[in-house]
Structure 1
Amino acid sequence: MATHSSDLPASLRRQAPVAAAALLALLPLSQALAQASSELPTVTVTGRNPAARAAVTGFGERPLAETPLQASVVTQERLKERGAQRLADLVSLDAGVSDAYNAAGYWDNLTVRGYALDYRYNYRRDGLPISGETSIPLENKSAVEVLKGTSGIQAGTSAPGGLVNYVVKRPEGRVRSLELGWRSRNTRGASLDIGERFGEGEAFGLRVNAAYEHLDSPLRSDEGHRRLLALAADWRLSPDTRLEAEFETSRRSQPSQPGFSLLGPDVPNARNIDPRTNLNNQPWSLPVVMEGNTASLRLQQRLDADWSLVAHAGTQRLHTDDRLAYPFGCTDASAYYGDRYCPNGDFDLYEYRSDKERRQTDALDVGVRGRFATGGMKHELGAGVLLSRHETRLQARVEDFAGTGNISGTVTVPSSPGGLAQNTNRTEESTELYLRDAVQLAPGWDAWLGLRHTRIERESVRTNGSRRTEYTQSFTTPWLALSHRLSSGQLVYASWGQGIESEVAPNRARYTNRGEALPALKSRQTEFGLKSAGQPLAWQFAWFDMRRPVAQGVGSDCGSDTPGNTCTLQADGDARHRGVEAGGTLRSSLWELGGSVMVLDAQRRGSAVPAVNGQRPPNVPEFTAKLQAGHRVAVVPGLRLLAGLTHEGDRMVEPGAGSARIPSWTRIDLGLSHEQRVNGTLLTWRAGVDNVADKRAWRESPYQYEHIYLYPLAPRTWRLSLQADF
């Protein structure tokens, strides 16, 4: 059905021309650069590769440019260019990705197309499910992949928006690399990457990564450390058989960072807030300690010229001591502010300490893939089963009022009495049967099918044995697409897919349906896209429409268990996100320009709470733009200048009509790298400054735990590193 401009939401009608103009402006420039590249000496430029593949799509054998999906692949080289230390550092590279409660010293999360990912279900490591409730190091990762769109094709249950997949470095041959780095205030560290193949016919491969970093960011009272040791090995038993094994152990210890908030009804002026202030600065504050041990074993067996079998098993064991002095609301003589701070900057300060948390995830994926033809059509088929099990084992936690603090960060209060609160242990098992098929219908025409049937068994219980819930649920998530390759090397496609989330009403007195599972919450996405992998310009454009049911308590009192039976957990309307994304990369012998923009219309609809209907959700910008540029200086061989611009639009700070909002902001980053060879050793010097203008702004406004938080943009930060490849 055709879509007329009058049918589009006002925000898209206003901002869609901006996205189109940003893309069209590259076309005449591409012609000029193409002509210039024929007149200048050829220089190899690293960066986005039109032939890049992404396993997170499920069609990893095909280049991204040939698949009817939107995904980004951030390679190790780009991670180093950006000085990336954590997942949250990737938000400046893709307009479809932004922050989701990313506090220093804590685990990271992303918002993709306006939906916050789920720590428990939206993260993968070499394709196997893991928990994101930890700090994941990047030194032993060759790339980070982000799938954008409903993730039912790859995940039994997950939040819509997409998936994140960490790709582990594997033995590739001889590697000898040492890197030293420093960033302000006084963070400093070293990493080592060694790889080799050996034995008859180089049958054996080994890769070792190690890193240590002393953490001392511009945030005050934030010192800590982290370390990593990772080993990957493989054995080519025969030309048709490969066995791969890898192990990673890491530890990070660092105080976490609470957010600021509204001051009564007002958004504080970010220019009056020192972003170096850490509200977790009490004498009794303890660091968050995150330890992780992860291992996997993969067997790849080629059955014949067209078929292969892969068996992949993995385990992740996390150990966490979660501690924080955190502000939550404010009580003064005149009023109680439950979701923000007092007008004078005071807040209620609580002590939180949940030690000896244990999380374990085990997974086994066995599948076959191959090619065959039938009825004049060619198939690329993949099918298999994924078994996974997750356990969370916690103890009673300390969570108690300690005193009254202030956003100045100078008030000291005594430790709390140490009152205990119960945690929740959970166990879940999942069996997923999946089928993926890419069918060549005719020259240039492909049909794509994804089908995943999932059975889950979940149970939870408080650490004192109370409030037990358990349920079993099964569902199927389909995904369909049709694509056509144009003669100009472009791909046009349309796709439709589903994703699933599963909720159970807590076994608490307030709920009328306590302990009961809700019907499976099915999110849906329709997407139309156009891609081009040409040279010197590669680009992509997508329009998407996503609908996600929202599970929410509805009733006269959903905040108290007294008198009881006053609230029902139910599907309460949906969150509809419609938008356009456009991005591309333009290369010549000396220049590389890249970037993306997204215009997003996000609204709540059909809620029993009229005030939220038609409103944009908190912490979701309407317009984002991320641009990067690289220039090789011809007169100085090996020198490359880098620049980045990040713009994010305003964000609402709470659900409902009349919500306050934080203003839009723009940040500029600069960097350079210089390569030189000294006695057979390749030295790569990198320097950069993030937030060049020392911009003061609110970076994000997560609405978490029914409380408004504001996180400031990091101050101007310098970084230096030296990498030696020998």
Structure 2
Amino acid sequence: MATPRRHFRPRRLVLACLAGCSTAGAFAQAQLDPVTITGRVTPTINAAGWGEVPLAKLPLQAGVFTAERLLDRGATRLSDLTNFDPAVSDAYNAEGYWDQLTVRGYVIDNRFNYRRDGLPINAETSIPLDNKAQVEVLKGISGMQAGTSAPGGLVNLVVKRPLDTPLRRAAVDWREKSTLTGAVDLSDRFGAERAFGVRLNAAAAHLDPLVRDSRGSRQMLAVAGDWRLGAGTLLEAEVESSHRSQPSQAAFSMWGDRVPAPVDPRRNLNDQRWSLPVVLDGDTASLRWRQTLSADWSFIAHAATQRLRSDDRIAFPFGCSAADGTYYPDRYCPDGSFDLYDFRSENERRRTDALDLSLTGRVQVGSWAHALTLGVLNSRVKNRFQRQAFNYVGTVGPGDETPADPTLTDENTQRDEHTSEVYARDAIAIDARWTAWLGVRHTRLHRQSVRTDGSRPTDYRQTFTTPFVALSYAYVPDQLVYASWGRGMESSVAPNRTRYTNAGEASTQTSRQAELGLKGSTESLEWSAALFDVVKHIAADIGSCDDPGTCTYQPDGTQRHLGGEGSISWRTGAWTWLAGAQWLRARREGSANAGVNGNMPYNVPARTLKLQAEHRLAAVPGLVIEGSGRYTSRRYVDPLNSASIPGYAVLGVAARQAVRFGAQTLTWRAGVDNLTDKRAWRESPFQFGHVYLYPLRPRTAWLGVQVDL
């Protein structure tokens, strides 16, 4: 029986907030004269590796999303970055699970493409944003910044640190259906000459989103401190502990040979009585010592450890055994039924340790000024798993119930990795306009794996170098043109199984990128544009792979993404306009499987457009009304491009206002995502050799109140 669709009128919430908070604004106006502040703040991006050089002067493209910007748009998780930047899109993002992103059409690797204050972490977990000052997305090849990483981009999380001025902040946020979050952010300095600083962030949430059968909870506690030992010495430490427990949302799929009409996005196929929540626990700590050696040179030692524990559990739809005996291995049956499996992988443990030592300084050689960084990074990864369940429990339709089967019938894989990296960067100011950017990273890699029963061991070592070179020219102040070239690297191994002719042999997949970019700004206008060409070499199984000795894991052509992206921000009077677009021609080339050559990769839109307009109401000081829209073109659902999901456009509205009451400031934010309640397929990930579909999230209202004391 179809579930009746609820008719929610978001305008009531928005109008109520505007009316009530506008009254508060008028009251504040009677006590305080309005003050208008204008100006530009050019962000820096730590992930780039060029120190305090502003992003506007770097020969690369990146997105910097501050905590305030995320709050203003109601963003609560990393996957919400897809609402901001046209180069960032979804890559199997489910309610209740960890976030996965695609940048410039490539899925970035949660194991190797994430950093926390510049050090490597594993993102196969839920990452809280409550204690993050900003999230950075470096676009393009990241071989200079990471030893091994997928092409497309690098995500860096910048932790909130103690401030110079006291902060006393409390916030409460509500989000449909009835998710409620409370958080505090406290910072202060004390001691002689205020040498000691402490910042505490804590959050707790009851999770009850519009997706059915997905109630849960999360908690986060983080403390950061610093000690200014002297004029040139700073010691920083921080620790973060988080917990999230929530059932995840199973994906939909094709029905036989057709893509069905978009379903009710509130529907959750993970709705068996025996379904258990995904539990994600994370503990992270770091220690950083900054030492000024002279007027031109400084030294940094930075160490971090991350320990994750996960219980990954779901009633998992996979393929379909039709009543007529037909088996659909990569999609659901024509009537929408599917095979259901009881999947449980409990007590997964992942540990990452890293130590980075770097020396930064300036040297004048003749008329050329060199900004140098030399460093070494040593990291270790240790992943430990138990046996897992992946058991067929029946062929069902939506709403049907099956018995559970948690029997541990499948082996898992233990993994160890030790990486040593030596890197160097040099920004050479040739004159007032020309700058040459040189970078290189040399990596030594040792990886081992073995199944939980001791079978199929692998052990291999590799050494490789990933360079970067760019040249920029500031043709007028605050306007820059640049050209760059870089190389990246991924590493894999042929499984140690009898069907492989090269079992246990290592394979290296290189990637390279050429980019031509333009950046500029005036007092009211900022713009950025780039043309890029990214080529990734692919490794795949070649042969029938059915019997012993019939399969070889080897190079299998390339995936090339040729595209362009641009963004513009224009401030005129009370209005601010922001727009961004990406065009992408992504193709598979040179594969032994002729059926995929010339095809576009699955789940990659060729065109993406994102718009935002803000208006500051003169009649109500501090009140800002925002409208946003984004458009995504169609996406193919499988490597053969046999079907696609249509493109879609979605709208949103939001408002915010900061109101002063004496020494206190109250800030409210409200909004409605997917204003028209558009029904569409949001993304089409092809995972585990299976076509999956996720619907666009339904119309969702949210409201937040923040008090600074």
What TM-score bracket applies, with the shorter chain setting the length? over 0.9
Counterpart residue type for residue 233 of structure 1: G
CA contact (8 A) 1:45 1:592 kept: no
| Secondary structure class of the residue paired with 2:62 | strand
1:235 aligned residue (205, 212, 227)? 227
Work out which of the residue numbers 237, 250, 256 in structure 2 matches 1:245.
Answer: 237
**Structure 1 residue aligned with 2:13:** none
Give the letter for the 2:393 counterpart.
Answer: A
Quote the residue 1:256 is aligned against: 248
- Find the partner of 1:695 among 655, 678, 683: 678
Deviation at 1:82, TM superposition (A): 1.3
- 1:125-524 correspondence runs (5 A): 125-172=116-163, 173-270=165-262, 273-334=263-324, 335-406=326-397, 409-416=398-405, 418-518=407-507, 520-524=508-512
Supply the distance in 2 between the matched residues of 1:393 and 1:502 (Cα, whole angstroms): 20
Amino acid in the other structure paired with 1:281: D
- Whole-angstrom distance in 1 between the partners of 2:123 and 2:202: 21
Q: Contact conserved, 2:271 with 2:315, CA < 8 A, in 1? A: yes
Matched letter for residue 551 of structure 1: A
Change (3 A) 1:202 1:588: farther
Q: What's the counterpart of residue 678 of structure 1?
A: 661
Local SS of the residue matching 1:358 = strand
Instruction: Return the TM-score normalized by structure 1.
Output: 0.92
Which residue identity is paired with 2:360?
R
Q: Residue 605 of structure 1: CA displacement?
A: 0.2
Partner of 1:44: 37
Is the counterpart of residue 106 in structure 1 residue 97 in structure 2? yes
Partner of 1:19: none
Q: Output the amino acid matched with 2:557.
A: G
CA–CA distance in 2 between the matches of 1:491 and 1:458? Answer: 42
Specify the SS of the correspondent of 2:51. Answer: coil
Q: Deviations over 1:81-102 (max 9, x none)?
A: 1111110011110000000111
Q: What is the deviation of 1:679?
A: 3.8
Q: Report the Cα offset of residue 42 of structure 1.
A: 7.5
CA contact (8 A) 2:343 2:406 kept: no
State the AA in 2 paired with 1:506: P
TM-superposed CA distance for 1:556, in Å, is: 1.8
How many residue pairs match? The answer is 674
In structure 2, runs of 5+ residues without a counterpart are 1-33
Equivalent position of 1:640 in the other structure: 624
8 Å contact 1:356–1:394 — kept in the other structure?
yes
Distance 1:586 1:325 in 2: 48
Answering whether residue 579 of structure 2 is matched by residue 590 of structure 1, we say: no
Q: Which amino acid aligns with 2:74?
A: G
1:44 deviation in Å? Answer: 2.6
Question: Which residue does 1:722 correspond to in 2?
Answer: 705
Deviations 1:589-626 (A, max 9, x none): 42221121000000000000001000001000000011
Secondary structure of 2:595's counterpart equals helix
Indicate whether 1:72 and 2:49 are aligned: no
**Deviation, structure 1 residue 443:** 2.2
State whether residues 586 and 593 of structure 1, in contact with CA within 8 Å, keep that contact through their aligned partners in structure 2. Answer: yes
C-alpha displacement at 1:419, in angstroms? Answer: 4.6
In structure 2, how many angstroms separate the alpha carbons of the residues matched to 1:60 and 1:224? 40
Separation in 1, partners of 2:272, 2:470: 55
Letter in 2 for 1:283: R
Give yes or no for contact 2:438–2:470 (8 Å, CA) kept in 1: yes
> Helix, strand or coil: the match of 1:416?
coil
Taking structure 1 as reference, are residues 475 and 289 closer, same or farther at Cα in structure 2, changes over 3 Å only? same
Q: Is this contact kept in 2: 1:599–1:622, CA < 8 A? A: yes
3-state SS in 1 of match to 2:71 = helix
The correspondence for 1:568, drawn from 535, 552, 557, is: 552
Corresponding residue SS for 1:465:
coil
Contact 2:437 2:471 in 1 (8 A): yes
CA contact (8 A) 1:50 1:538 kept: no
CA displacement, residues 181-205 of structure 1 (integer Å, 9 cap, x when unaligned): 1011010010000000111111110
Q: Is the 8 A contact 1:529 1:542 kept in 2?
A: yes
Match of 1:55 among 46, 51, 57: 46
Query: How far does residue 375 in structure 1 lie from its aligned partner after superposition?
Result: 2.5
State the 1:450 CA deviation.
Answer: 0.6
The range that moved more, 274-283 or 625-634, is 625-634
Counterpart-to-counterpart distance in 2, 1:695 and 1:405: 28
Q: Is the 8 A contact 2:387 2:408 kept in 1?
A: no
Partner of 1:228: helix, strand, or coil?
strand
CA RMSD of aligned residues (A): 1.1
Contact 1:402 1:417 in 2 (8 A): no
Q: 1 CA distance for matches of 2:644 and 2:36?
A: 46
What is the CA distance between 1:476 and its match in structure 2?
0.3
Q: Runs (4+) of structure 1 moved beyond 3 Å?
A: none
- What SS does the aligned partner of 1:415 have? coil
Secondary structure in 2 matching 1:80: helix
Displacement, 1:565?
1.2
Deviation (angstroms), 1:264: 0.2
The SS at the match of 2:82 is helix
**For residue 604 of structure 1, what is the amino acid of its counterpart?**
R
Candidates 600, 605, 608, aligned match of 1:616: 600
1:89 counterpart SS class: helix
1:347-387 CA distances to partner (integer Å, 9 max, x unpaired)?
A: 00000011111000000000010111113210000010000
SS in 1 for 2:267: coil
Bigger shift: residues 288-297 or 55-64? 55-64
Report SS of the residue matched to 1:189.
Answer: strand
What amino acid does structure 2 have at the position aligned with 1:72?
G
2:423 match: secondary structure: strand
- Whole-angstrom CA distance in 2 between matches of 1:205 and 1:88: 32
1:341 and 1:221 mapped to 2: Cα distance?
A: 22
Residue matched to 2:688: 705
Q: Deviations over 1:672-701 (max 9, x none)?
A: 012212242100111100000000000000
**Residue matched to 1:628:** 612
Distance in 2 (alpha carbons) for counterparts of 1:578 and 1:188 = 43
| Structure 1 spans left out of the alignment, 5+ residues | 1-40
How far apart, CA to CA, are the structure 1 residues paired with 2:406 and 2:201? 44
Q: Secondary structure of 2:111's match?
A: coil
- C-alpha distance in 1 between matches for 2:572 and 2:446: 54
Partner Cα separation in structure 1 for residue 259 and residue 649 of structure 2: 18
Structure 1 residues 656, 600: closer, same or farther in 2, change over 3 A? same
Distance across 2 between alignment mates of 1:707 and 1:510: 22
Question: 1:261 is aligned with what amino acid?
Answer: S
- Pick one of 518, 539, 543 that aligns with 1:530: 518
Residue 14 of structure 2 corresponds to which residue in structure 1?
none
| Alpha-carbon contact 1:50-1:64 (below 8 Å) kept | no
2:82 to 62, 82, 91: 91
Distance 1:84 1:405 in 2: 35
What is the SS of the residue equivalent to 1:156?
coil
Per-residue CA deviations over 1:517-558 (Å, capped at 9, x if unaligned) read 12x21100000000002220001000000000111111023x
CA distance in 1, matches of 2:560, 2:37: 43
CA contact (8 A) 1:45 1:589 kept: no
- Matched-pair identity in %: 53
